[in-house]
């Protein structure tokens, strides 16, 4: 009996010592190092603002307090950067990937040129589930979904396989609309400028976070008309803007819409490449959680117009990714057809 009583405190001491050793090893590794947040898009947009705001604050929550920098790696609608993060980034916990929301779902869409398996990233977390809107300029000859079913209007997109083009085709498919895509705009800023200058009637997928960060006056002054909102999270600020899912009754179309709009739920995901040691993964995950709860970070983020009131954990993001890849094959095939 005495022998067993002695074993318990010894085991507790041994476990505590092992845990402390692991923590010390992580702190020793990161001390004096620089972590790179590699962003799979260009500078200047909401993704970039978030990454730089995160970089400003996350280092103090990582053992060893490393410095943190941001590197932009645009190209291929996010594919170039995502391929690099998966295949070429250091697998030691010194590279954090900032993906586009579509990045984790490209495989399901049948996109070519991918050299990564999105299901093997370690997801660290993301910002709030976002809400997408189809926006029309105030002079567009439509005021409702019924009008959009009767009248053909033009919407700006980057290219045939871009996210805005995909959203336009998806809305045409499940809402039976007549959106005509005008391709060739390099990015959202150019597309919105085209809408403002009258080159097109609208834009199929502007997100709430982008509106609040870059175009808050457009909503306030009713410069644009928000025709429909989509995503799991509808915005109570817009009670008169219909929710897409309320206008889709066919069960197959509803599954298609849920799969297609999952990227609004993913929002702005952060990842580690496969192969990072588990103790460093745990440290970075904990640092992400702490940063998203940090009052200084929240102040900076809100001042920049970012939505950070309901951040998502890595497990939350992983669950969204898994949900899409477990969709019935017929739904995945329809997704692929819409993405081409």
- In this prediction, residues 306-310 reach a mean pLDDT of 86
Report yes or no on 17 lying in a domain: no
Predicted confidence (pLDDT) per residue in 31-43, tens digit: 999 999 999 988 8
Q: Which has the closest alpha carbon to 209: 7, 23, 53?
A: 53
pLDDT reported for residue 55 = 98
- In this prediction, residues 50-55 reach a mean pLDDT of 97
The CATH code of the domain that includes 323 is: 3.40.190.150
Q: Are residues 153 and 253 in the same domain?
A: yes
**320 falls in which pLDDT band (50, 70, 90)?**
very high
Q: Are residues 137 and 117 in the same domain?
A: no
The rounded distance, in Å, linking the Cα atoms of 128 and 178 is 31
Q: Which has the closest alpha carbon to 202: 254, 264, 271, 143?
A: 143
Choosing from 225, 243, 263, the residue where a domain stops is 263
pLDDT reported for residue 2 = 46
- In this prediction, residues 269-282 reach a mean pLDDT of 98
The CATH code of the domain that includes 243 is: 3.40.190.10
Q: Are residues 308 and 236 in the same domain?
A: no
pLDDT reported for residue 304 = 87
Answer yes or no: is pLDDT of 238 > 90.
Answer: yes
Parallel, antiparallel, or unpaired: how do β-strands 153-156 and 179-182 relate?
Answer: parallel
Predicted confidence (pLDDT) per residue in 223-234, tens digit: 999 999 998 888
The rounded distance, in Å, linking the Cα atoms of 45 and 324 is 27
Half-sphere exposure of 320 (CA within 13 A, CB side): 28
- Number of domains the chain contains: 2
Note the Cα 89 to chain centre separation in Å.
Answer: 20
The rounded distance, in Å, linking the Cα atoms of 149 and 125 is 38
Q: What is the mean pLDDT of the chain?
A: 90
**Tokens representing 82?**
């995502």
Answer yes or no: is pLDDT of 161 > 80.
Answer: no
pLDDT reported for residue 128 = 87
pLDDT reported for residue 3 = 47
**149 falls in which pLDDT band (50, 70, 90)?**
very high
Cα angle vertex 124, ends 166, 336, to 5°?
20
Contact, 225 vs 140, CB < 8 A? yes
The rounded distance, in Å, linking the Cα atoms of 42 and 48 is 7
Percent of the chain with pLDDT over 90: 68
Choosing from 263, 297, 321, the residue where a domain stops is 263
Predicted confidence (pLDDT) per residue in 72-126, tens digit: 998 887 899 999 999 999 999 999 999 998 899 988 888 889 999 999 999 999 9
The rounded distance, in Å, linking the Cα atoms of 40 and 268 is 11
Choosing from 212, 247, 263, the residue where a domain stops is 263
Answer yes or no: is pLDDT of 290 > 60.
Answer: yes
Answer yes or no: is pLDDT of 277 > 50.
Answer: yes
Report yes or no on 166 lying in a domain: yes
Q: Are residues 158 and 122 in the same domain?
A: no
Strand order in the sheet with 153-156: 179-182, 153-156, 202-207, 132-137, 224-230
> What is the value of pTM for the model shown?
0.80
The rounded distance, in Å, linking the Cα atoms of 177 and 298 is 39
**Residue span of the structural domain in which 308 resides:** 31-128+267-339
- Comparing 31-35, 86-90, 253-257, 260-264, the range with the smallest average pLDDT is 260-264
315-322 long-range contacts (CB < 8 A, ≥24 apart) are 315/123, 316/125, 316/126, 317/104, 317/123, 317/125, 317/126, 317/266, 317/269, 318/123, 320/104, 320/262, 320/265, 320/266, 321/104, 321/105, 321/118, 321/119, 321/123, 321/266, 322/119
Report yes or no on 26 lying in a domain: no
């Amino acid at each position: 009996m005495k022998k067993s009583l002695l074993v318990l405190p010894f085991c507790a001491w041994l476990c505590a010592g092992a845990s402390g050793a692991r923590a010390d090893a992580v702190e020793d590794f990161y001390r004096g190092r620089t972590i790179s947040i590699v962003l799979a898009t260009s500078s200047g947009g909401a993704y970039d603002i978030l990454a730089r705001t995160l970089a400003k604050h996350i280092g103090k929550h990582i053992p060893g307090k490393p410095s943190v920098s941001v590197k932009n790696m645009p190209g291929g609608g996010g594919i170039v950067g995502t391929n690099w993060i998966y295949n070429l980034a250091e697998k030691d916990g010194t590279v954090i990937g900032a993906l586009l929301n579509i990045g984790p779902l490209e495989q399901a869409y049948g996109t070519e040129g991918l050299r990564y398996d999105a299901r093997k990233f370690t997801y660290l977390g993301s910002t709030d589930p976002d809400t997408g809107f189809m926006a029309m300029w105030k002079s567009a000859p439509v005021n409702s979904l019924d009008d959009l079913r009767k009248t053909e209007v033009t919407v700006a997109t980057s290219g045939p396989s871009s996210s805005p083009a995909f959203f336009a085709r998806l809305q045409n498919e499940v809402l039976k609309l007549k959106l005509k895509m005008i391709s060739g705009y390099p990015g959202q800023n150019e597309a919105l400028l085209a809408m403002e200058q009258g080159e097109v009637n609208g834009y199929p997928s502007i997100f709430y976070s982008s509106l609040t960060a870059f175009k808050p006056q457009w909503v306030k002054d009713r410069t644009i008309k928000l025709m429909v909102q989509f995503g799991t999270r509808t915005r109570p600020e817009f009670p008169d803007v219909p929710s897409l899912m309320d206008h889709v009754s066919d069960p197959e179309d509803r599954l298609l819409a849920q799969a297609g709009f999952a990227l609004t739920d993913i929002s702005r995901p952060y990842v580690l490449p496969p192969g990072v040691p588990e103790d460093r993964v745990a440290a970075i995950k904990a640092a992400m959680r702490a940063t998203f709860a940090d009052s200084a970070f929240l102040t900076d983020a809100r001042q920049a117009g970012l939505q950070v009131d309901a951040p998502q954990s890595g497990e939350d993001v992983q669950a969204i990714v898994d949900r899409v890849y477990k969709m019935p094959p017929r739904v995945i095939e329809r997704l692929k057809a819409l993405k081409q």
